[in-house]
Amino acid sequence: MEADDTDHDMNPKSILDGVVLPAGQTAVQDLTQGLQTIVNNSSVGPFMCLRLIQQLVMSNPSPAYMTRCSAAFADNGSGARGDLKAVVKEILLDSEPAARRPTSSPQRRQTQGAHPSYLWSPAISERNQRRRQLEQLHLEHEGRSL
């Protein structure tokens, strides 16, 4: 994506949290300052953490888990805010998802370490199903079957 100043509004702009982007800035300058304002908003860290946790691990994280994740968004350990690599690492390596995973069946206990449930998704299942279908078509074309 490239910023094009030909149609860019050069007037001042009021954005989130009462921040005003000054007049005369280029599209890149406005975009940079606008994104920085969004990242620095206090509700963005918890919002991003909730959405990432829900997509990667569980649907209903505890407040303590959310706090730990939000802290990683606020400071990655090196003073940087909004480091999504640090956030995802915190989400996946936190002790809460592992503690909440059911371990009632012996089969579940055996495979739990081999492939954590947060790495398995419907997309992977769909991909495997399509691969099996393609393999079947290939074998049928050769006159064999699975």
Q: How confident is the model at residue 138 (pLDDT cuts 50, 70, 90)?
A: low
pTM of the entire predicted model:
0.64
Residues 79-119 have pLDDT tens digits of: 999 999 999 999 999 999 878 766 655 554 444 444 555 55
Q: Where are the domains of the chain?
A: 5-100, 111-141
The residue with greater pLDDT, 128 or 58, is 58
- Assign 93 to helix, strand or coil: helix
Q: Give yes or no for a contact between 132 and 145, defined as CB atoms under 8 angstroms apart.
A: no
Residue 15 CA to residue 59 CA, distance in Å, equals 31
Above 80 in pLDDT, residue 135?
Answer: no
Residue 47 CA to residue 64 CA, distance in Å, equals 15
